Amino acid sequence: MLESVVISELLLIKTLNEERSRSPCPTSPDRVTSSQCSRLRDLFEYQVGCSGGAPDVGTSVDFVDEVTLEVSAGDGGNGCVAFRREKFVPLGGPSGGDGGRGGSVILVAHERFSTLFDLRYRKVVRAERGEDGRGKDQFGKAGADIRIEVPVGTQVYDEVSDELLADLHESGAELVVAQGGRGGRGNIKFATPHDRAPRRSEPGKPGEKRKIRLVLKLLADVGILGFPNVGKSTFIATVSRARPKVADYPFTTLVPNLGVVSLGVDRHFVIADIPGIIEGAAEGAGLGLRFLKHVERTRVLLHMLSIDPDPEREPIADFQRLMVELERFDPELPSRPMIVAVSKCDLPEARAAYEEVKQALEPRGLRVFPISSATGEGVTPLLEALEAILRQPTDV
């Protein structure tokens, strides 16, 4: 605990020094403005994570799944009016070149990103303007395009009309969100047999400007659903190398976690731990809408049930409430393939709850597995059942 606090303070001091070196105050080098303090606080959270206390060494960065950007493409360069004037070359004619094309703003999906955190502070993106044309038949240089890399699974919306512009669900997929303006024509393009010395040109066209919203929806084969504190994070930490925060109180997991399950050669699938969903999530209770959207892309749903100290909580009732929230959010979700797992079955009361859940849900065609992440009981059969469903052809 003490080591974590010391490391946190050292990181904050290091960040403070770096910020001062980048933005020194002209009147007092030791003075930091309020905006710099706000940025330092955000950078501190970025470096050590927000864990509600002294963070552990190696804590991952914040998970950001929605950002808004203003994108502006570059304007096209203006065309030039010029004439060729050389000795011994009478009536040289027009020589004004075209303006260069403005740079475009392009989104590119890349597998090495899993969050939109890098765009959290990048509110405005402007591409380069094209150069104006010049004399001696010289065309202006085109403006450089700006390519913004985003995680695979990012959806792009127009912030004003709320129109879905693209779904970048494959690595390498690209979308031009702001097209650069066309360069204006120089007077060399207006020469005709009837007008051999035109004195007109075109201005460059303005580049596109728009406000977009990027929404990340995780791509996973299996999505783990359940009320808070039913053992979802412990399970994903057991079956994969994911290391989510695990504690004995509800809402420990505040962001989705991804893990890769390996059952042997060429037997892998991605599993997502969706943070605890509460009743009313489909109407926006808690952070329900933010979490439920990550379920939309999963092929199989794993419902995690368990006993709870709250007398008003009961596994079968929890399952019914989750199904209601799924149907309210997206009527198609309850028809997805799903498996039910009763966790913490190393405890006698959880074992008894498993028998009740099995009797209630198996007649409805649902397979119910007893598991214990602490002892490993039932984990392998459950994973093999999930893999078997994933190997089946599906249109989801």
Highest mean pLDDT: which range of 40-44, 313-317, 370-374: 370-374
Q: Is pLDDT above 80 for 319?
A: yes
What's 248's DSSP letter?
Answer: S
Examine the domain organization and report whether 303 and 385 are in the same domain: yes
**Per-residue pLDDT tens for 33-52?**
444 444 433 433 333 333 33
Q: In terms of pLDDT, which residue wins out, 383 or 120?
A: 383
Domain annotation covers residue 396: no
Residue 56 has what pLDDT? 37
Residue 19 has what pLDDT? 47
Q: How far is CA 196 from CA 79, 83, 95, 203, in A?
A: 17, 11, 11, 21
Contact criterion met (CB below 8 Å) for 222 and 259: no
Q: Is pLDDT above 60 for 289?
A: no
The share of the chain scoring above pLDDT 70, in percent, equals 73
Examine the domain organization and report whether 267 and 366 are in the same domain: yes
Domain boundary (216, 250, 280) is at 216
User: Can you give the residue range of the structural domain that contains 307?
Assistant: 222-391
Domain CATH code at residue 70: 2.70.210.12
Total number of domains constituting the chain: 3
Query: Exposed e or buried b for every residue in 189-205, given b needs 16+ CB within 10 A?
Result: bbeeeeeeebeebbbbb
Examine the domain organization and report whether 90 and 171 are in the same domain: yes
Examine the domain organization and report whether 107 and 174 are in the same domain: yes
Domain annotation covers residue 1: yes
Please state the rounded mean pLDDT for residues 253-280: 71
The pairing of strands 66-72 and 209-216 is antiparallel
With vertex at residue 33, the alpha carbon angle to CA 31 and CA 39, rounded to the nearest 5 degrees, is 120
pLDDT band per the 50, 70, 90 thresholds, residue 176 = very high
- What SS3 state is found at 22? helix
Lowest mean pLDDT among 48-62, 142-156, 223-237: 48-62
Examine the domain organization and report whether 73 and 141 are in the same domain: yes
Lowest mean pLDDT among 207-221, 273-287, 382-396: 273-287
Query: Exposed e or buried b for every residue in 145-173, given b needs 16+ CB within 10 A?
Result: bbebebbbbbbbbeeeeeeebbbbeeeeb
Examine the domain organization and report whether 133 and 51 are in the same domain: no
Examine the domain organization and report whether 205 and 235 are in the same domain: no
Instruction: Give the side-chain half-sphere CA count within 13 A for 120.
Output: 14
With DSSP H G I counted as helix, E B as strand and the rest as coil, what are the percentages for the chain, rounded to 5?
30, 20, 50
Domain CATH code at residue 300: 3.40.50.300
Handedness of CA 166, 172, 175, 177 (dihedral sign): positive
**Per-residue pLDDT tens for 196-239?**
889 999 999 999 999 999 988 776 788 888 887 788 888 888 88
Examine the domain organization and report whether 226 and 306 are in the same domain: yes
Examine the domain organization and report whether 296 and 255 are in the same domain: yes
Lowest mean pLDDT among 241-245, 283-287, 344-348: 283-287
Domain annotation covers residue 153: yes
Contact criterion met (CB below 8 Å) for 62 and 209: no
What's 255's DSSP letter?
Answer: S
The long-range contacts involving 254-257, CB below 8 angstroms and separated by at least 24 positions, are: 254/287, 255/62, 255/63, 256/63, 256/65, 256/218, 256/291, 256/294, 257/233
